[in-house]
Amino acid sequence: MTDNHVIKFAFLGAPSTGKTSLCKALAEKYDTVWMPEYGREYWMEHQQERRLSPEQLVEIAEGHIEREDRLVAEAHRYLFVDTEAITTYHFAIDYHGEAHPRLQELAEEAEKRYEVFFLCAADIPYDDTWERSGEQHRAEFQARLCEDLINRRVPFTAVKGTLEQRVERVTSMLDDYTPI
């Protein structure tokens, strides 16, 4: 198991694929805490013309890890993590066509930081808010993220359907899960 016998589960997916709702629901179900997407909070405070610099994306990944590490002390058995450095890496590629070398390192470290990765499908209605880039962009981002996980050889489980179906899918896996 990971730190203090808390198992960390990472939830990835393009914007508006239900990661936040799923992490919240699982944390409630298992009476534990969850790690919100720090990048969303940071972006809302610091974006300029809907973009962040390469250095700011590194700050997001590092800040997310710091907050996540602090939450481990509050977690009960599981920590459900809404996004991680691989996703931030993809925002860098999306914004700039490349990622800062430090962000590349953090994305590689993320491959081993979590015991299980879940990829939230883009099969739920798109929540078209001002800070998002559109449903077509969601599909493209999702495809690149999925391809990258495969290329990195990061095993993941896809979760799809309604929130209830997603919770059931993850729950069934957790009930059968034996830590590495």
Return left, alpha or beta for 6; rule: phi > 0 is left, psi -120 to 50 is alpha, else beta: beta
Going from the N-terminus, what domains does the chain have, and what CATH number goes with each? 3-176 (3.40.50.300)
For residues 51 and 139, which has the higher predicted lDDT (pLDDT)? Answer: 139
The helix or strand, by DSSP H or E, that contains position 21, with its residue range, turns out to be helix 19-29
178: number of Cβ within 10 Å: 4
For residues 179 and 67, which has the higher predicted lDDT (pLDDT)? Answer: 67
Bridge partners of 178, per DSSP, are none
CA distance 147 to 128: 24
CA distance 40 to 88: 10
pLDDT tens digits for range 90-136: 989 988 999 999 999 999 999 999 999 999 999 886 555 435 454 55
Instruction: List the one residue out of 129, 166, 115, 176 whose CA is nearest residue 13.
Output: 166
pLDDT tens digits for range 32-83: 999 999 987 887 787 777 778 999 999 999 999 999 999 999 999 999 999 9
Instruction: List the one residue out of 172, 115, 111 whose CA is nearest residue 1.
Output: 115
